[in-house]
Amino acid sequence: MAVGSPVVAEGLRSIIDSCGDLAVVLSVDSLHALIDRITAIAPDAVIISTELCPTDAGDIKSAFPELSDMTLMAVQSTLCSDETLRRFDSSISIFNSAEQIARRIREAVDRPAANNYADSHDLTERERDVLVLVAKGHTNKEIASMLNISPHTVISHRKNIAHKTGIRSVAGLTVYAILNHLIDGDIE
């Protein structure tokens, strides 16, 4: 989560923590701090305050490839245009109730799992290699080094894996890898 206001960030953290099935894994106060650390975490959804997004960035996922395979949620603490909100997959407002915020976050996290493309799109050999290393807990930089490819290529492979499987979380990809016999259940 990248939210400039500490009050809004703490309020969102409190709502998310009270859900039980959701957790904040990173909270920063700038978009650049988020980008610097996000690929090592690979969260199910990213919440970004609309005031932190540059107005000239156009599509956020294109401007920041590190976010391309993640569900982006806007949090509105000030008025913003519909054009700004269209840059995100979903949005919440500080004027929503705690229940509405929790429901919208759950919907955003669950949405990718509902689009399972695994039956019609097989993973390439390289995507399987990346998936195995992700499931074993390696970061994008480590995977890039191990496979002699660039971190940007790893991110592209992870985006393709998420699209083909409908799974974005590391835990979900680990389960997918185990169920498809890409790795055994005893992960080192």
Domains of the chain: 6-114 (3.40.50.2300), 125-179 (1.10.10.10)
Residue for token pair 């500080």: 94
**Band (42; pLDDT cuts 50, 70, 90):** confident
Indicate if the alpha-carbon torsion angle 62, 163, 9, 82 is positive or negative. positive
Instruction: Give per-residue pLDDT as tens, 143-184.
Output: 999 999 999 899 989 988 888 888 888 888 888 888 888 887
Q: How many CB atoms lie within 10 A of CB 4?
A: 16
Q: At what angle do helices 170-179 and 151-165 cross, to 10 degrees?
A: 70
Instruction: Give per-residue pLDDT as tens, 97-114.
Output: 999 998 888 888 776 543
Question: Which alpha helices (DSSP H) does the chain contain, by range?
Answer: 6-19, 31-41, 60-63, 82-85, 98-114, 125-135, 140-147, 151-165, 170-179
Q: Please report the pLDDT score of residue 119 as a whole number.
A: 40
Q: How many residues in total does the chain contain?
A: 188
How many whole angstroms separate alpha carbon 41 and alpha carbon 137? 10
Using the predicted structure, report yes or no on whether residue 80 has a pLDDT greater than 50. Answer: yes
**Band (39; pLDDT cuts 50, 70, 90):** confident
Backbone phi and psi for residue 60, each to the nearest 5 degrees, phi listed first: -65, -40
- 138-170 b/e (C-beta count within 10 Å ≥ 16 → b): bbbeebbeebebebebbbbbbbbbbebbbbbbb
Q: At what angle do helices 151-165 and 140-147 cross, to 10 degrees?
A: 110
Beta partners for residue 90, in sequence order = 73
27 and 1 Cβ atoms separated by less than 8 Å: yes
Residue 15 structure tokens? 């709502």
Enter the pTM of the model.
0.56
